[in-house]
Copies of this chain bind each other. A is one copy, B any other.
Amino acid sequence: LDSGTGQEVRRMLKTLTPQSIAQLLESSPPRIRQVLWNLIDRDVEGEVLQELTDEVRSQILDTLDTEEMVEIMEGLDADDIADILQQLPERVVSEVLSAMSETDRLRVESVLAYDENTAGGLMDTDTISVRPNLSLDVVLRYLRRHEQLPESTDSLFVINRQGQYIGLLPLSKLLTTDPSVTVREVVSTDVEPIPADMRDTEVAQLFEKYDWITAPVVDENNRLLGRITIDDIVDVIREGADHSLMSMAGLDEEEDTFAPVRRTARRRALWLGINLLTALLASWVISLFQNTLDKVVALAVLMPIVASMGGVAGSQTLTVVIRGMALGQIGRSNLRWLLSRELGAAAMNALLWSLVMGGVAALWFDDITIAVIIVAAMLINLIVAAMAGAILPVVLRAMRIDPALAGSVALTTVTDVVGFMSFLGLATWQFS
């Protein structure tokens, strides 16, 4: 990618779609990313920008001035422009908006009025709507006056004189019905309008459940504001699913895989610091039993096993519960059943593996007391772990703390403390 080959790369980039260029940028380290960006054709820059994840996009926006931004955003949809503007400082946003045409500005502003994680922030205002009293023939003639329909249009919206949403008119219906029929007779009311302030994750659940492709967004008076299409929803689903995975390791789902070293270090430092605190707590528990450890050194050898098995058993329960919550399956009514199922499964596995471990310990240290102690400690810790894994996410959610983020730290703290406490506590009681 040195200066000499710039022309070749530029030619190569010309053959790629905006989506492929965006993927290439996301898969490149920061320095190369900037070089590539400078080689992209001006007229695809906007589309490429729109395909990027928030974090990579904001890196690139940082290098642009207002004039370049206005130029780049020409030709993008209102929702995509709003998406980009939401990442810019207040001052830049008003500059960009004032440089836009009147209609474009109003459109973008109507999307910007909503939080980016709501239906209003996701919607596109570019809709085609018709009145119920028209005949399909009139609708067909009206459509034919358009150069083209907005992207992914598969339905028209039927609204009344006050602009209130009545129903959908799918294009396929329009094409298979006798043109003399009126819109009112064929309007489909299957798809319920989405309130503009509904959370994007809830909207995604509706789309997934009902296999929608387009859905109308309305204000509190049922007036049609815009539409949400499935391609925006796919991003929400992807991010939501990534959220659980990344949060459980203390990471952000928008995290750039190729973030520079300092930013990466800074972001992860906090999580490691929190973990150090919980590890110190576990160490303090161990230190309470120093006298016993001094007498029976075998305890120091075996104690990590009790803590580790509790951690693994608990994290299995935790993962199932967090996933079930993300899918909207877990509520008050079935929590008790789930908890007893988890306790039952944990009890069976605790019995199996603690007995195996007891046998190993008896043979290894030739000491039946230590074997009995580790069996008892594992039984206690695995059952507590299952309880904690099932209850912690529910409690955290009730406290409005993200269970995917805080769950695993909280769980490890419990399983370490209980693991060391039960094993060394029982040993102290036996050996002193």
Residue on B with the closest CB to A28? B334
Cα A319 to Cα B230 in complex, Å, equals: 28
Residue on B with the closest CB to A331? B27
Copies of this chain held together in the complex: 2
Near B by CB (< 8 A), chain A positions 246-264 give 246, 248-251, 255, 257-262, 264
> Is A9 part of the binding interface, using a Cβ–Cβ cutoff of 8 Å?
no
Q: Mask for A278-314, Cβ within 8 A of B = 1, else 0?
A: 0110110011001001100110111111011100110
Cα A344 to Cα B259 in complex, Å, equals: 12
A288 shortest CB reach to chain B, Å: 9
Question: Which one of B241, B305, B320 contacts A279 once the chains associate, using CB atoms below 8 Å?
Answer: B305
Q: Mask for A64-87, Cβ within 8 A of B = 1, else 0?
A: 000000000000000000000000
Near B by CB (< 8 A), chain A positions 186-227 give 207-211, 213
> Is A275 part of the binding interface, using a Cβ–Cβ cutoff of 8 Å?
yes
A19 shortest CB reach to chain B, Å: 4
Residue on B with the closest CB to A282? B304
Looking at A96-104, A106-114, A266-274, the stretch in contact with chain B turns out to be: A266-274
A36 shortest CB reach to chain B, Å: 12
Contact B330 A257 (CB under 8 A): yes
Cα A293 to Cα B290 in complex, Å, equals: 11
Question: Which one of B144, B152, B275 contacts A308 once the chains associate, using CB atoms below 8 Å?
Answer: B275
Q: Mask for A161-190, Cβ within 8 A of B = 1, else 0?
A: 000000000011111111000000000000
Q: What 10 A-B pairs are tightest by C-beta distance, nearest first? A: A241-B241, A211-B231, A261-B344, A300-B300, A249-B319, A149-B172, A265-B345, A265-B348, A257-B324, A264-B345
Contact B210 A265 (CB under 8 A): no
Interfacial chain B residues near A352, Cβ < 8 Å: 269
Contact A309 B276 (CB under 8 A): yes
Contact B283 A329 (CB under 8 A): no
A211 shortest CB reach to chain B, Å: 4
Contact A304 B276 (CB under 8 A): no
Cα A346 to Cα B271 in complex, Å, equals: 13
Interfacial chain B residues near A230, Cβ < 8 Å: 213, 230-231, 234
Cα A201 to Cα B133 in complex, Å, equals: 45
Interfacial chain B residues near A329, Cβ < 8 Å: 23, 26-27, 257-258
Looking at A37-45, A118-126, A353-361, A392-400, the stretch in contact with chain B turns out to be: A353-361
Assuming the A-B contacts A143-B176, A245-B248, A265-B345, are A312 and B275 also in contact, with contact meaning beta carbons closer than 8 angstroms in the complex?
Answer: yes
A319 shortest CB reach to chain B, Å: 4
Cα A23 to Cα B206 in complex, Å, equals: 12
Contact A172 B171 (CB under 8 A): yes
A271 shortest CB reach to chain B, Å: 7
Interfacial chain B residues near A19, Cβ < 8 Å: 209-210
Interfacial chain B residues near A315, Cβ < 8 Å: 249
Assuming the A-B contacts A154-B213, A237-B238, A297-B290, are A171 and B176 also in contact, with contact meaning beta carbons closer than 8 angstroms in the complex?
Answer: no
Interfacial chain B residues near A258, Cβ < 8 Å: 329, 334, 337-338, 341
Assuming the A-B contacts A245-B244, A324-B257, are A286 and B300 also in contact, with contact meaning beta carbons closer than 8 angstroms in the complex?
Answer: yes
Contact B175 A174 (CB under 8 A): yes
> Is A430 part of the binding interface, using a Cβ–Cβ cutoff of 8 Å?
no
Contact A29 B348 (CB under 8 A): no
Assuming the A-B contacts A175-B144, A276-B353, A329-B26, are A341 and B308 also in contact, with contact meaning beta carbons closer than 8 angstroms in the complex?
Answer: no
> Is A134 part of the binding interface, using a Cβ–Cβ cutoff of 8 Å?
no
Question: Which one of B153, B251, B297, B349 contacts A268 once the chains associate, using CB atoms below 8 Å?
Answer: B349
Known: A171-B172, A213-B230. 11 other contacts (CB 8 A): A144-B175, A154-B213, A171-B171, A241-B242, A257-B327, A258-B334, A265-B345, A273-B353, A276-B356, A279-B304, A282-B308
Interfacial chain B residues near A17, Cβ < 8 Å: 210
Interfacial chain B residues near A262, Cβ < 8 Å: 345, 348
